[in-house]
Amino acid sequence: MPVYEYIALDKKGKSRKGIIDADSSVVARQKLRNSELFPVEVNKTSSKSKSETSALVSVSSFLRKVNTGELSAMTRQLSILLGAGITLFASLDTLVGQVTNPLLKKVMAQIKDSVNEGNSFASSIAQYPKFFSPIYINMVRAGEASGSLDLVLDRLAEFSEHQEALKGRFKAALAYPIFMCIIGILVLFILLTFIVPNITEIFSDMQQALPLPTILLLNTSAFLKSFWWLVLILLAIVILILRQFKRTAKGTYLWDEFKLRVPVMGQINIKMAMARFGRTLGSLLQSGVPLITALQIVRNIVNNSLIADVIDDAIVEIQSGKGLSVTLGKSLWIPPVSVQMISVGEQSGELEKMLNKIADIYEREVESRVMAMTSMLEPVMIIVMGLIVAFIVVSILLPIFEMSQMIK
């Protein structure tokens, strides 16, 4: 069914924009009038080719993105509608009218149109990889094949909501320390660049040698006052070079290895990767996705090339008849506890449940460690700031004390 973009006026005379599906522009206008909207402009959009539509969606995504919360809410609503016995097309038709994000509304209308043409839901959403991840597409495909699409969509919504809640807790825990660090750096910069030079002008007329701390302070202050712009440029260049290097294969590998080997944070990164691995693989297997296909999806979302290589090795060995735990046990980066739990899951036939337990364990551990680190970070920042300020104060007072001794 064709899709039309419209501009209309409501009862209060306010302009409304949106999309509506109808057999013709006349029917579209009649639908708008039935909804107590006065159509001003109605343009057909579904006549565009799929490539044009995808390009339009790609351009629109720069203007307004579809966040994970909106996609999760849409998935949850679709699961409820299907679970109530409503057909897929009717459920999508209902969702198109409920979605408030214009970009998501347009995408859902195109998906509904594709389903109406006889395409599967999985193949329809696969046309929009910017919105639907490989995990989402493969779980939907498995749900359609097994006839349990409503249950799979419910599981997808839970998975997405859980991941977003975890990210939200991490961001909330790190927000205050990062804010304080930025404020502290700005305060020190202003102190050294503008305040210290005014205080230390009296030392320029002294005919005696200044103490070493004072010399260091004066040189640092003079450099920042004259070349602060150069410091910012050099910092920007270094960041740009590092970002470009990280995009290369060697740079990505070295950075991922550093993330796993660095003290304290290395263990946190490993546990975060294992939590992501367990949660995603468990959800895919519960939805009926084959193990090999699930591992191929998971390797792309662990966010570490070293662990992705371990998963690649596991895929090869599983295809030769070995178990998942056997290959993972050979890796330096997979914790022994995880290997043992996966082995128990394979032997008991409950691998999916064991993978979800692994994710639960490591998510709790990562969250507690991050909270502990952030609570320790605040006093450490205060101590560092105190030491720097103390150095500045001592550097200023030392020459003054020497001058008072000479006067006596």
pLDDT tens readout for residues 305-355: 899 999 999 999 999 988 899 989 988 899 999 999 999 999 998 999 999
Identify the band that residue 2 occupies on the pLDDT scale cut at 50, 70 and 90. Answer: low
Q: Evaluate if residue 240 carries a pLDDT over 90.
A: yes
Identify the band that residue 205 occupies on the pLDDT scale cut at 50, 70 and 90. Answer: low
**What value does the mean pLDDT of the chain take?**
83
Residue in 75, 219, 215, 169 with CA at minimum distance from that of residue 371? 169
Domain boundaries, the chain: 1-47, 167-408
What residues form DSSP beta bridges with 96?
Answer: none
Measured distance between the N- and C-terminal CA atoms of the chain, rounded to whole angstroms: 98
Distances (CA, A) of 201 to 143, 225, 400: 76, 14, 12
| Whole-number pLDDT of residue 49 | 43
Are 284 and 298 a contacting pair, CB within 8 Å?
Answer: yes
3-state secondary structure at position 322: coil
CA contacts within 13 A on the Cβ side of 408:
6
In the sheet where 15-21 sits, what is the strand order? 15-21, 3-9, 38-44
Identify the band that residue 55 occupies on the pLDDT scale cut at 50, 70 and 90. Answer: very low
Q: Evaluate if residue 177 carries a pLDDT over 90.
A: no
| Whole-number pLDDT of residue 314 | 92
Identify the band that residue 175 occupies on the pLDDT scale cut at 50, 70 and 90. Answer: confident
Radius of gyration of the chain (CA): 30
Residue in 167, 382, 177, 373 with CA at minimum distance from that of residue 265? 373
Report, as an integer, the average pLDDT of 117-127. 89
Structure tokens belonging to residue 24: 């013709």
Report, as an integer, the average pLDDT of 196-209. 72
Report, as an integer, the average pLDDT of 203-212. 72
CATH number of 167-408: 1.20.81.30
Dihedral sign for Cα 158, 164, 168, 171, please: positive
| Whole-number pLDDT of residue 51 | 46
Identify the band that residue 239 occupies on the pLDDT scale cut at 50, 70 and 90. Answer: very high
CA contacts within 13 A on the Cβ side of 33:
6
pTM of the full structure: 0.68
Q: Evaluate if residue 29 carries a pLDDT over 90.
A: no
Q: What is the DSSP letter of 65?
A: -
Name the more confident of 23 and 123.
123
Residue with tokens 């395409």: 119
Q: Evaluate if residue 50 carries a pLDDT over 60.
A: no
